[in-house]
Amino acid sequence: MSKNLHLFLILVLVSSCASFKMGLLNPKQTLSPQIPMLEVRIDKKSLETAFMPMPFKITQTADTLQANLKPFRDIQVQDAITIFTREVENNICKANGPNKNGYAVCRIIAADMMGNGLWVLVPPLFVLCGVPSCSFSVEVSAQIDIYDNDNNFIKSYSAVGRGKEYQAMYWGYAGETMMRTATIRALLNAMNEIKVKIQNDQAELAKKLALPL
């Protein structure tokens, strides 16, 4: 009976949670773009390594786990590519024609993810009232390396960002949406710190990229 009740609550919970907000993948401009336009180059391997599938079902074999969780890992990788690209092109650089004055190599150094399953401890009535049934925390270390068109390394910027989301009826997210949203927020928070550092160095970067402010 208890097992059936939990299954019913999970079904109701999933159908009543908030949907994924696509606007998260289009970060707003919070700083004035001041450095010359850069080409965006993604270290995709670093993203794939950082977002290795997590072993939620320990009864499965390693190969089965990889196969079942790979599609979600691929979504996380694509989300990171989208955020890096839009942040550099729209929120870090200023448009100065079709020519690029260098390039930015974007990578994720490491990512740590942790789920906290609370649902077995939360009374069913509380779940129906919107009390979180579990949470998901993410910590991401992001890095952007800037080079000029002659492949001369100019400077590296890195920061750690954290994100946490909850699974809850009415206001929280369900399952993969909770995990995806927490990961995006962690990367966005890391990028906010990186943008501040880049803005502080805008005069130096403009000079080294051979283009006046």
When pLDDT is cut at 50, 70 and 90, the band that residue 62 belongs to is very low
Give the neighbor-by-neighbor strand order of the sheet with 153-167. Answer: 39-42, 102-117, 134-148, 153-167
Please indicate whether residue 89 or residue 176 has the higher confidence score (pLDDT): 89
Q: Decide if 201 is inside a domain.
A: yes
- Is 143 strand, coil or helix? strand
Q: Are 132 and 166 in contact (CB under 8 A)?
A: yes
- Number of domains, the chain: 1
Return the CATH number at 89: 3.40.50
When pLDDT is cut at 50, 70 and 90, the band that residue 65 belongs to is very low
The chain-wide mean pLDDT, for the chain, equals 79
CB-CB neighbours of 55 under 10 Å: 11
When pLDDT is cut at 50, 70 and 90, the band that residue 69 belongs to is low
Q: Decide if 22 is inside a domain.
A: no
Q: Decide if 160 is inside a domain.
A: yes
Predicted pLDDT of residue 197: 95
Residue keyed to tokens 């800037």: 146
Q: Decide if 52 is inside a domain.
A: yes
- Is 149 strand, coil or helix? coil
Predicted pLDDT of residue 182: 93
- Containing structural domain, residue 97: 2-17+34-208
Q: Decide if 26 is inside a domain.
A: no
Q: Decide if 25 is inside a domain.
A: no
pLDDT tens-digit profile of 96-152?
667 899 999 999 999 998 876 655 455 454 555 555 667 889 999 999 999 999 999
* Structural tokens at position 118: 């609370």
